[in-house]
Structure 1
Amino acid sequence: MESFVIKTPCSSANIGPGFDVIGLALSVYLELHVTIDRSKTKSEHPLNCRVTYEGQGEESGDISLDPQNNLITRVALYVLRCHDQRSFPVETHVHIKNPIPLGRGLGSSGAAVVAGVMLGKEVGGLHHLDQDRLFDYCLMIERHPDNVGAALFGGFVGTYLMPLKPEDASRVEIPLSEVLPAPAGGVDTGKRPPEPPHGIGHHIKFPWNKEIKAVAIIPDFIVPTHDARAVLPPNYQRTDVVFNLQRIALLPVALGQSPPDPELINLAMQDKVHQPYRQTLIPGLCEIVEAMSPKTTPGFLGVCLSGAGPTILALALSNFEDIANQIIATLRKHNENKNLDCKWLVLEPAEGTHVVRSS
């Protein structure tokens, strides 16, 4: 009996002015508890894989336990089929423990994709696949390099994609139905799916001052990424683009300095590319961004939308509860539901996806 655990952190993307560029891995981990019973010669489960689940969305009925439809196992199957392995080893059990809130801007789908790619590598014995090559596989499925880059490599990262063909650049991501043999989840055609090109994406790790914590305020509603993208304009004013470029040049330096400079961080966290347009989806966002400053709120450094939202991410040195309560009060004031349920967590940068094997 072989057993191991894959741990993948959640992530916050679009940090400050870093829309689609900068991501931060945070200390809430998706875990896959995997066992492979090699004493068995056949399995009664589809693709030799039994999937079980506990955690966020468990009662919703939205989480498929069919390995042909579950995002994590489908991604693993893509990696396996690129290496001429048609199914999981007999007999594989994947137990998913997921504390990452779904659809809240904390990279739940990015974590699932990264964990799935690592699952494919581990069960397939594909030890030649290094982290950079795994990144290529992730980016075939999830075209947001800031989320998957943070979840895979950990820490505070800048990411970019190599120039794409025009037909690829017009799409947000490549659906799994195209990379898995068609019909997806149906008859196994035996076709080998297209492998990713080498070097689709690249990343760099930025330094992070360990005094700085991330306070995540998680409101109880969902903002689908598609809706959050739909409100963005097709073109931008040059002044707004320059505004973001000026700040993105400062932010990685500001967050790595010791001691941290609260005023510099607060200024460097400003954005004009996505947050003003997403205010309609997250009432109170602009008021939070405009009202909070290091001068008025002790311990506060800066605030931004986490990913597509609705989670708000505040960077702080101390006074975490007061900062969270101030943000929650503003969200409730501007929301139709004045008793909007909000949770908050104090998080720190997390290590990247890794495998823990029992000795």
Structure 2
Amino acid sequence: MTIPVGSSVTLRVPASSANLGPGFDCVGIALGVWDEATATVTQEPGLVIEVTGAGADAVPRDERHLIHRTMTTTWRHLGVEAPAGLHLSTHNAVPHGRGLGSSATAIVTGVAAAQALSTGGELDLDVVNTIACALEGHPDNASASVFGGATLSVTEAGEPLTTTRTVPLRLDERIVPVVLVPQTTLSTHTARSVLPELVPLATAAANSARTGVLVHALTSDPSLLTAGTTDLLHQESRRPSYPQSMALVDALRGGGLAATISGAGPSVLVLTTAEHIGRVGEIAATRGAVWQVLTPGVPDRGVHRVG
């Protein structure tokens, strides 16, 4: 199959927070911070990439660009011939290296753009989710950016791609996410490098129980959010990688707020209700470091076409 010259698609994709408390690599939540990209098949051979917004000075503008690499890989999986000429224009609002799923956002954008161009505009979100999660390597960020809302995902080994099954969670309308973004960055690779390869059975069992509480809290009972966001797998191992973030998590949780590291960090996510938003900012202001406080909301849709 050859994609016709002039074919074009514009997409919006939301940020995400993942590893929610005990929901390591399985529970994610979309955040109302949006990246936008337009991909157009051109008559002139070659690749042209324009980038504005967050991280614009740091991303490559050639075949190494993550969205373009993802599009090429997706076309290969779909059995579609990559076009000889492509113009890619992106505007990034999701901060890079802050634990808000910027890489997953780019991957979801690339998969969705490749599929939409191949089908004349139609998006199959289940296909986008499977390919994006396989390329990302873990499904929590990617699935939230694909479907919006809160998601619970599991993976099953398969060929040629790992299969991801995602269950959308009906988020309790009282829950408000507050994101505290530091000036520092941390790569996911660095954050994962300090995780233990083995955990005691009792720890794994307790963490699984906490994940069940988290799902119930997210969907039905926000009063259980503090208990449901208690993590036993990854945050303590990473404490030396983001000491200021963990100190803030400790302070917020000490104040009765459901705080957790967002993704691989170093941003902090607080799941609270409207009447407690002010307390989050007050506690953050006592910690010395400068934190950007965001209340982005949770979009009920993920990746979608514009226009």
Do the two structures share a fold, i.e. TM-score over 0.5?
yes
Q: Which residue of structure 1 lines up, in the alignment, with residue 71 of structure 2?
A: 76
Matched with 1:216 is 179
Structure 2: 5+ residue stretches without partners: 1-5
> Could you tell me which residue of structure 2 aligns to residue 353 of structure 1?
303
Q: Decide which of 235, 243, 249 is 1:275's aligned counterpart.
A: 235
**Larger CA Rg, structure 1 vs 2:** 1
Letter in 1 for 2:64: N
CA contact (8 A) 2:213 2:227 kept: no
Give the helix-richer structure, 1 or 2. Answer: 2
Tell me how far apart the structure 2 counterparts of residues 252 and 203 of structure 1 sit (CA, whole Å).
Answer: 14
Aligned equivalents of 1:281, 1:352: Cα separation in 2: 30
CA deviation profile, 1:247-303 (whole Å, cap 9, x unmatched): 11111111222xx442x2111110110111111111144443444359x46xx4x11
CA contact (8 A) 1:29 1:99 kept: yes
Shift of 1:81: 3.3
How far, CA to CA, are the matches of 1:129 and 1:225 in structure 2? Answer: 28
Larger strand share, 1 or 2:
2
CA distance in 2, matches of 1:223, 1:135: 25
Give CA deviations for 1:211-242 in whole Å, capped at 9, x if unaligned.
Answer: 21111101111111111111111111233222
- Equivalent runs, 1:96-135 vs 2, <5 Å: 96-125=90-119, 130-135=124-129
What's the offset of the Cα at 1:243? 2.1
Determine the structure 1 residue equivalent to 2:269.
Answer: 313
Q: Would you say 1:292 and 2:288 are equivalent positions? A: no
Q: Kindly state the Cα deviation for residue 3 of structure 1 after the two structures are TM-superposed.
A: 4.8
TM-score for the superposition, normalised by structure 2: 0.89
Q: In structure 1, give the amino acid aligned to 2:61.
A: L
Aligned AA for 1:32?
Answer: A
Structure 1 length-normalised TM: 0.77
Structure 1 gaps of 5+ residues are: 165-194, 333-339
Paired residue for 1:206, among 169, 177, 199?
A: 169
The 1-side partners of 2:70 and 2:147 are apart by 18
Aligned to 1:341: 290
Letter in 1 for 2:59: I
Equivalent residue for 1:95, pick from 89, 100, 104: 89
Q: Alpha-carbon deviation of 1:89?
A: 6.5
- Against the structure 1 CA distance between its residues 6 and 196, is the aligned structure 2 distance closer, same or farther, given a 3 Å change threshold? farther
Which amino acid letter does the alignment assign opposite residue 245 of structure 1?
Answer: S
Q: 1:50 aligns with which of 45, 48, 51?
A: 48
**In structure 2, how many angstroms separate the alpha carbons of the residues matched to 1:142 and 1:251?**
24
**8 Å Cα contact 2:133-2:143 kept in structure 1:** no
C-alpha spacing 1:261/1:144, structure 2 compared with 1 (3 Å): closer
How far has the Cα of 1:80 moved from its partner?
Answer: 2.2
Aligned to 1:14, what secondary structure does the other structure show? strand
1:270 and 1:93, CA in 2 relative to 1: closer, same or farther beyond 3 A? same
Letter in 1 for 2:262: S
Question: In structure 2, how many angstroms separate the alpha carbons of the residues matched to 1:290 and 1:213?
Answer: 19
2:156 maps to which residue? 162
Write out per-residue CA displacement over residues 158-194 of structure 1, whole angstroms, 9 at most, x where no aligned residue.
0111046xxxxxxxxxxxxxxxxxxxxxxxxxxxxxx
1: CA distance, partners of 2:19 / 2:136: 15
How many angstroms apart in 2 are the aligned matches of 1:127 and 1:162? 29
**RMSD over aligned Cα, in angstroms?**
2.3
For 1:21, the equivalent position in structure 2 comes to: 26
Which residue in 1 is equivalent to 2:3? none
**Alignment partner, residue 10 of structure 2:** 5
**How far off is 1:135 after superposition?**
2.0
Q: Secondary structure of the residue that 1:247 maps to in structure 2?
A: helix
Q: Is the 8 A contact 1:137 1:196 kept in 2?
A: no
From 304, 322, 326, the counterpart of 2:260:
304
Superposition deviation, residue 50 in structure 1: 2.0
**1:279 is paired with a residue of what secondary structure?**
helix
Question: Structure 2: which amino acid aligns with 1:6?
Answer: L
